[in-house]
Structures are given as structure tokens and as C-alpha cells.
Structure 1
């Protein structure tokens, strides 16, 4: 049974190891995210940030460690080092608690904006069309794109596509939102509209784990900042504290380069 106690972490990763062949990408990463918390994950390119995010919703499988979502184990490793996932049906149910927004939008080009939002709730969740459309229209209003509901993605700007992608993820009513570099493919002038939508989600107490290079967002919106380098989570501190003093030389050098 799901554990609904409020002090149970929404995300709990302990000692997560991930290898691609002989290349160890994650070296025992541990991070816990509380209900309503916004955690920004920052660090150099190639440090394992995106891989870690993908391991949390089974887009990548881990080779060691423990992952639980809202107190429900997704993957565990026994004393002999054997990593096992729960049965496939349980994996799908647990991963449905998370919504994912990617760097490159991943919208269906042959569907309109509205159709992009209603496809998964109707097909995966089996919801009636009228209910799904009503929810989708509210979400498009939320991200400021009601007027684009009948447009195809090719007619949208990059910022508009990413806001549709956020609305599409929210249409599945997840408890947790995972963002993988949501603004890195955008021109600077389009970044602000996406970050504004994410700020509003944070104000509504949505639990969010955000891989980002946007230091302003990390400083102003995140409750905590987690710094990764070379496959390790080096430090995780309250945002204001981190930016005042990262507490680790590698994090300090990264900040000096970014700010």
C-alpha cells in the first residue's frame, strides 16, 4: 500500500549506481526530496545529472542502490549486490506518480496542442474525452496558451512548445515533476516564459526536481541546490546557503564559472 504520511520523502534515492558498459556514470548518488520541495540539480555537463533524473522514473535502470517514490520501492539492491525492480505493473503504477519535461519538448508533431494533452490521459488512464478536454483546457489557460489549442507544434515558438510540454505532463496529474534542462534549447528571450510557469508550479507546492543551468532560478525558486560532478552528488544545501558558500571547492569553482 502507498505510504501517505506527509514526512515520507516524495523521492528517495540511496547509493544509486549506473553504468554504461565500463563507464560508471553515477557513483553512489543519494538524494531525498520532501513533499512540496523544489530541488535544483546543477553541475558541469557530463556530471550525470540527466542520467540520475532518468533513473528516478525508469527511463534508465540502475545497477545498484535504492529508489523509492512516495515511500514505495521502485528498485532495491540486496546484500549480494543484486539490483531488482518491482514487477512491471508496479513499475508503471509507481512511475505514473512522476511527470517528466525534456530538453527538446518531445511533442507529437502530427497532433494539435490540445490533442497532445489529451492523448495519454485517454489512452493510458482511460478517462472520458469530455473530462480530459476540460482538464486540458484549464492547463492550457494555466500556461497562457489557450489561444494555441488548435495549432500544431510546428506553428509554436520554442518557449510555447516547452509550456505545452509542461501542460502535457501535468495532464497526467503527477505528484512529482521532473525537469531535464527545460530551457537549455531555448533562445534567452524565450527562457523567461518557461521559468515563469515553473515558478508558478513551485508556488502551488508542486514537488519538483529540476536539472538546470539557470542559476537565477536555482537561487530564487529552489529550496535546495544539489551539486553533481563526475557522477557524484558532492553537496546538497539550502539554496541561499549554497550561493553564499557552496561548501566545497568543486562547487565553488563551478559557481565562479557560471555567475
Structure 2
């Protein structure tokens, strides 16, 4: 890929993505394109397929049909029979390494300190030396306001602190894209703000982010675009200001009236 093409090509292209769990079709032909530096908030009622779509993008779930390209490289596409065929396992790992993922429930290693949680993946997955990654890990802890907790264990942290450590851990792998799966849904309301401030800071630094969230204020203020999903379909995707001011689809309007 030429430098010019790299600057203009989308970071994520999903086309007609379909996914079933048994007889339940949870994604019914979802398509989305995402540009570099965009922050897309994916909203919608529970069970609409938001988290499943996110997990399909980085191969935590496999799709039945459709196409997913990450930074111009194809992760999966349909074969001649219309069935999804993935690239080799090595290529899947290489492509998915460009994405960092932050989950609802932190998934920190309880037996490791905060600092060791951040060091773990660069040491084991990237094979980096400890002295290479240590300054970066400390800087990430400073960024999320938790350098003073570097030697603490997760059990000694609040939920908001755990989630900020999880964000720092994902950033330690230097991803080009960050995926957030309802990062505040497991938090008490008073702890939500500190996590959203961290994500807002990443947005200010032009990190490309796809955020599944129920936080309408965050979606309105921070997202460049909002995508609304319902019943396994992507119903509407528009710039955030226009989305909230003049939603086009009746299902979108009904959802926003129930949430705002």
C-alpha cells in the first residue's frame, strides 16, 4: 500500500456481516466503514448485537458470512459458496494485533500488580525486553492517573481504577484502533466519569475508537459519529450532532426518546 493510499483508506470496513448463534441470527447484514481518527459510538437496546459485532471485528467471534477489512488487509471474506473464509491463523493474529480491546469486566490478572498487568502482553506476545517496555508502561499509568498504584494488586483498586488499568494495558500493545465494549456498564455511576475522561483524552489525541456504550452524553459530546443498532441491524449512522438533533429512522427516534 502506498503512503497516500494508507492515509485515505478506511481503518475498518465491515460489509454485510452476518452471525448466528444456533437458530438466532444476531447480526443481520451489518455494514460499517470507519476512517482514521474517528470515534464511533455504537448505541442501541440490550441484545441488539452491538457487543457481538465488536467481538467479530477482532476475531473473538467468527462470522458466518460477510467481509471485514482492517487497515486495508482482509481478515475474512466470502468464498464462492457465500461462506465466510478467514485468512491464515498467522495473518489473523497479525491483523488483530492492530486492535486493542477493553471489556466490561476489566479481565485483569489478579495475581499480578498493576504494573505487571501492563507489562505482561508486550513481554510475552511481542517478546520485548522489560527495560524496553517499562518506561512506556509507567508513562501509560501516568496518562490514566494511576502511576501511584503501580505496585498495587487489582483487588485493592476501585472498579474505575481497574478499568483505567485495562485501558493502559491495551494501549501498551500500541494498537492503531481501540475497541471498547461497554467500558462503564459494570461501574457505579460515580466511577463512570473517570473512565470516560480517559477515553475522551484518547479522542483528543485522535485515537481511532469504536465504543459500544449506553452513555448518551458521552456519545453526544465525544463521538464524531453515532451508529444505532437494533435487532441485529445497523439502523442509522450519522455525525453525532445530526444524529441527536434530527434522527432519521423511527426506531432511532423511539430509542432516543426512551433514553434522553
Query: Which of the five TM-score ranges fits, normalised by the shorter chain?
Result: over 0.9
Deviation at 1:2, TM superposition (A): 8.9
Counterpart position of 1:178? 179
Counterpart position of 1:106? 107
How many residues end up aligned between the 2 structures?
A: 259
Counterpart position of 2:41? 40
SS of 1:6's equivalent in the other structure is helix
CA RMSD of aligned residues (A): 1.0
Contact 1:98 1:178 in 2 (8 A): yes
SS of 1:237's equivalent in the other structure is strand
Distance 2:199 2:89 in 1: 31
SS of 1:109's equivalent in the other structure is coil
When normalised by structure 2's length, the TM-score is: 0.98
Contact 1:158 1:186 in 2 (8 A): yes
Structure 1 segments unaligned to the other structure (5+ residues): none
Counterpart position of 1:209? 210
SS of 2:211's equivalent in the other structure is strand
SS of 1:80's equivalent in the other structure is coil
Runs of 4 or more, structure 1, over 6 Å off, are none
Counterpart position of 1:249? 250
Counterpart position of 1:50? 51
Distance 1:36 1:78 in 2: 31
Distance 1:6 1:25 in 2: 33
Distance 1:82 1:66 in 2: 10
Deviation at 1:78, TM superposition (A): 2.7
Deviations 1:164-193 (A, max 9, x none): 000000000000000000001101110000
Distance 1:208 1:246 in 2: 22
Alignment of 1:190-229 (within 5 A): 190-229=191-230
